[in-house]
Amino acid sequence: MTDENKTQVTILTGTYRIKGYISLVPGARVTDYMVDAKDFIAITDAEVWEPGGRQVLTAPFINVSRDHIQIITPGQ
């Protein structure tokens, strides 16, 4: 994945706030990415936070279940 294909996202699930990057074709929207996604989406350079602000995980790569995503937004 090249840097120009990396788009920073923030994902909210029922339990966690996840920050990281998805591989998004230049000019595409996050909405388009989610429509085309399978059961899981790949997040790189991931940070996982609890609602109270405690960081619980950092990882170079995680898969996040689409079923658990409540909100996804580009940027921080």
Q: What is the pLDDT of residues 6-48, one digit of tens each?
A: 999 999 999 999 999 999 888 889 988 888 889 999 999 999 9
DSSP, collapsed to helix, strand or coil, labels residue 68 as helix
Q: Which domain holds residue 53?
A: 3-74
Residue with tokens 């996050």: 30
CA distance 7 to 21: 5
Can you tell me whether residue 23 is helix, strand or coil? strand
Please give the pLDDT value at position 36.
86
Residue 53 belongs to a domain with what CATH number?
2.30.30.100
Cα–Cα distance measured from residue 12 to residue 2, given in angstroms and rounded to the nearest whole number: 25
Average of per-residue pLDDT across 62-76: 93
Provide the domain count of the chain: 1
CA 56 to chain centroid, in Å, comes to 16
For residue 32, give the 3-state DSSP assignment. Answer: helix
Tokens encoding 50: 């609890």
What predicted TM-score, i.e. pTM, was given to this entire model? 0.88
